[in-house]
Each structure stands twice: as structure tokens, then as C-alpha cells.
Amino acid sequence: MEYFPPALEALTEQFARLPGVGKKSAQRLAFFVLGLSEEEAHAFADAIVTAKRTIALCPECQNFTEGDGLCPICRSSRRDGTTICVVADPKDVNALERSREYSGRYHVLHGVISPMNHIGPDDLHIKELLERVSAGGVGEVIMATNPTTEGEATAMYLSRLLKPFGVKVTRLAYGVPVGGQLEYADDATLTRALEGRREM
Amino acid sequence: MEYFPPALEALTEQFARLPGVGKKSAQRLAFFVLGLSEEEAHAFADAIVTAKRTIALCPECQNFTEGDGLCPICRSSRRDGTTICVVADPKDVNALERSREYSGRYHVLHGVISPMNHIGPDDLHIKELLERVSAGGVGEVIMATNPTTEGEATAMYLSRLLKPFGVKVTRLAYGVPVGGQLEYADDATLTRALEGRREM
């Protein structure tokens, strides 16, 4: 008689829905929750509901933000509004912010075009990007999607849509990662690094 | 300006507390929750609170059970109450039940003695096991802790505690796993398999 209390089964199923969490891990996570104190379990549940309730998309750049207004980056007057950096994911905004090199604004697509996964242009926040550019005042759009086939295809697609607006469309440079070793760089990266070589 | 809304940070931290979930995975899980519908997020939060509220330990075997009473196995009159199988974890009960070979009762320790992790005998449900055995009616206690150093040490410790009660204490057999290949069996397993060989 294999037996788990239904409430434990239900919790395991919830965890198993998370990306990258299999049935076995989900069970381990459910057991962990049972080991929490009553307050800790409530804090966990509250964090889920609160995050879902309070976090919305910034009406301008589509990044996650708290409340209905603009996100801190779109609100900031110190950011250069003439440059928009297009990324696939909110995590990419933070990656670029960490470099402290970029002072323009962003646009988060929330995905890339991927026919394999049935994600077409209409599933991404492309319309909002076109509205921002057509509203005027934008001089350059930097494509910063991942250097994967899908990321590249999405960047190509967007650049064609944006060209008619007379805006400059650029792409992040490809090359050997800083601190990496040539020996371990793949052929495609080395080819791009050679193509993009600069005079010293 | 690296920025995540506080509610998103809070949710990420909650996920990061789960065993085997690092900061990066926690962020991915938090993003996944934001992608859920309002109802789905509530269902997830409810599952946590409900599991924590309704699931208790069976007062007899210490396995997880719903409500305050005995678990289905301890309640069942078809189970042999004279044999107790001692396991470290509730998951082990289900593993043994899957074999359909055992018809006795269980006792769940909720861990093993592990000085490295500051888990001593008092942190496990050993007292309850001694109470069950001292109450009488138990003929055999089968140690079914994992065949690890800590599992073995815990089984040894318990067998010494139980001997004075005049109860038979046994240990699960070691050997080559069924369906496994000798070639890949480690030395310790082969040694145990030879030691435990039986006449055919």
C-alpha cells in the first residue's frame, strides 16, 4: 500500500510543474516544506501571492516592475531616452546593468521568435517596441538578444521592421569572451571574433 | 542600476531556501510563478499552506499522515503488528511498499545520526520506537536505513538500544542489485555479496 497524504501529493504536483523540477525533486521540496515552521510556510505562500499580485509589466519597456507606473529605469531622467536596448528577458536587463556601461533605456521582448515552440512575433512585446520607436525621439536600437539561432533570427526580424522608421539598428559585438581561453572557444565564436577584429 | 521589484526578490529568496535550489534557479522559478495565472499562483500558495496545516506525524510510526489519527498502515488490521521496519525517511516506506514483500508496520526516524550535520539521537524519533517496543508485542525489528556510513551507524546504535528488550533485530541484506552488472558493482558491494552468499 503505497501511501502519501493527498495534501502532500497536491503540493508535490505543484512543485513538479516548476521548470526543471522532476517528480523526485518535487517530492523532496514538498518534504522540505513540511519541515518548515507554520510561519515559514505562510511566508513562502505569501511571497508567491504577493509577487503575483504586485508585479506588473512597465507600460514603456515591458520589464517587471512593482505597481502600475513606469519602472525605475524608464522613470529615471538620467537615462538616455534616445537609445533603446532590446533584450529577450528581464534577467538580461540586470546582466547589462551589471556592466555599468549602458545608460540608455531597454525593451524586454519576453522571449524570442521560436517556431519550434510555437512562439511567433505576436507572442512577444514587439508591438510596444514599434509604438515607442514610431512615437519618435529614438535614435538607435541595440539588439541584445542571445547569440543563438533564435536570438539572431529575432534580431534580424526586428531590424527589418524598424528600418522603415529611419532608426539606426545595431547588434552587440560577438567575440572571444574576456577571461576565456582561445583553446576552448568554438569555431563559430572564433570566426565572429576574426570578422570583428579591430585595429589596436 | 540593477533592479528587481522587492516582491520578486522576496519570492526568489523563498525559492533559494529550498534544498538544491541555487540563486539562479530560484530566479528562474520566481519568473515562472509570475507567468502563472492569478488562480494558478493561488493554487500553489494554497497547496503549501494546506499541506503544512493538514499533514501531521502518525503518533505510532511517525510517518506523515493527514489529520491527528493513525496513518493507514498503522490503522490497517491486515498488517502484522509484531514486526517493525525502521527507515530513515517517509520516502523509504513507499519504496518498501512498492516491493509488496513486507506486511508488517514501519517506524520512520526522520533522519540518521550524523555528527557532521549536528544530528544526534535526540533529533530523531528514537524515543517513540523504544516506547513501541517496550509496550510489548513486537517480535522483530528490521533495520532498513540506507547502506551508508551514517545509516549503518544509526542501525548499530538502535540495535544496541533494542537488544535489552529481548527483541530480534535484523538488517536488510546487502548484495548485488537485481538487474545490475557485476562489472560495475563496487568492491564493498561485492564483498558484502560474497559474505552473504546462500546455497542454491
Residues 6+ away with beta carbon under 8 Å from A100: none
User: How many angstroms from the chain centroid is the CA of residue A117?
Assistant: 17
Q: What pLDDT digit, counting tens, does each position of A56-98 carry? A: 999 999 999 988 889 999 999 999 999 999 999 888 888 888 8
Query: Touching check for B52 and chain A: CB below 8 Å?
Result: yes
pLDDT in the model for residue A200: 65
Please tell me which residue of chain A has the smallest CA distance to B24. Answer: A91
Report the alpha-carbon distance of residue B63 to residue B78 in Å, rounded.
Answer: 18
A76: three-class secondary structure by DSSP: coil
Using the beta-carbon criterion (under 8 Å), do A44 and B14 form an inter-chain contact? yes
SS3 for B132-151 is HHHCCCCCEEEECCCCCHHH
Q: What is the DSSP letter of A172?
A: P
Which set of grid coordinates corresponds to residue A180? 576565456
**Closest CA of chain B from A61, distance in Å:** 14
Using the beta-carbon criterion (under 8 Å), do A33 and B54 form an inter-chain contact? no
Which set of grid coordinates corresponds to residue B139? 517480535
Which set of grid coordinates corresponds to residue B93? 516506506
Beta strands, E only, chain A: 55-57, 64-66, 80-87, 104-108, 140-143, 168-171
Q: What pLDDT digit, counting tens, does each position of A114-173 carry? A: 999 999 999 999 999 999 999 989 999 999 888 888 988 999 999 999 999 999 999 888
- The pLDDT of residue B169 is above 80: yes
As a 3-state breakdown, chain A gives helix, strand, coil percent values, each rounded to 5, of: 50, 15, 35
Q: Residue B200: which pLDDT band, with cuts at 50, 70 and 90? A: low
pLDDT in the model for residue B1: 58
B8 vs A contacts (CB less than 8 Å): 51, 55, 64
ipTM comes to: 0.72
Helix (H) or strand (E) holding A52, with range, is: helix A38-54
Using the beta-carbon criterion (under 8 Å), do A3 and B72 form an inter-chain contact? yes
Residues 6+ away with beta carbon under 8 Å from A188: none
Using the beta-carbon criterion (under 8 Å), do B3 and A30 form an inter-chain contact? no
- The pLDDT of residue B99 is above 90: no
pLDDT in the model for residue A1: 58
Averaged pLDDT for residues B104-133: 94
- The pLDDT of residue A197 is above 80: no
**Closest CA of chain A from B25, distance in Å:** 9
Residues 6+ away with beta carbon under 8 Å from B171: B142, B143, B155, B159
Helix (H) or strand (E) holding A30, with range, is: helix A23-35
Q: What are the backbone angles phi and psi of residue B125, rounded to the nearest 5°?
A: -90, 60
pLDDT in the model for residue A2: 64
Residues 6+ away with beta carbon under 8 Å from A164: none
Beta bridge partners of A83: A140
Q: What pLDDT digit, counting tens, does each position of A29-63 carry? A: 999 999 898 999 999 999 999 999 999 999 999 99
* B window 119-178, beta carbon within 8 A of A: none
Query: Touching check for B49 and chain A: CB below 8 Å?
Result: yes
Averaged pLDDT for residues B126-154: 91
CB B132 within 8 A of CB B138: yes
Using the beta-carbon criterion (under 8 Å), do B19 and A1 form an inter-chain contact? no
Rounded to whole angstroms, what are the CA distances from A3 to A8, A45, B57, B91?
Answer: 10, 25, 14, 10
- The pLDDT of residue B2 is above 70: no
Query: Touching check for A78 and chain B: CB below 8 Å?
Result: no
- Best B4, B8, B52, B109 member to test A by mutation, with max A CBs in 10 Å, is B52
Query: Touching check for A27 and chain B: CB below 8 Å?
Result: yes
pLDDT in the model for residue A172: 84
- The pLDDT of residue B143 is above 80: yes
Query: Touching check for B115 and chain A: CB below 8 Å?
Result: no
Q: Residue B88: which pLDDT band, with cuts at 50, 70 and 90? A: very high
- The pLDDT of residue B184 is above 90: no
pLDDT in the model for residue B156: 93
Using the beta-carbon criterion (under 8 Å), do A32 and B52 form an inter-chain contact? no
**Closest CA of chain A from B83, distance in Å:** 16
Higher per-residue confidence, A189 vs A6 = A6
Burial B53-75 (b: 16+ CB within 10 A, else e): eebebbebbbbbbbeeeebebbe
Using the beta-carbon criterion (under 8 Å), do B33 and A48 form an inter-chain contact? yes
Q: What is the DSSP letter of A79?
A: S
Report the alpha-carbon distance of residue B177 to residue A69 in Å, rounded.
Answer: 61
CB A196 within 8 A of CB A174: yes
A8 vs B contacts (CB less than 8 Å): 51, 55, 64
Report the alpha-carbon distance of residue A196 to residue A173 in Å, rounded.
Answer: 8
A11: three-class secondary structure by DSSP: helix
Name which of B47, B71, B91 is nearest A10 (Cβ-Cβ): B47
Which set of grid coordinates corresponds to residue A37? 515552521
Using the beta-carbon criterion (under 8 Å), do A29 and B10 form an inter-chain contact? no
SS3 for B48-114 is HHHHHHHEEECCCCCCEEECCCCCHHHHCCCCEEEEEEEECCHHHHHHHHHCCCCCEEEEECCCCCE
Which set of grid coordinates corresponds to residue B145? 536505513
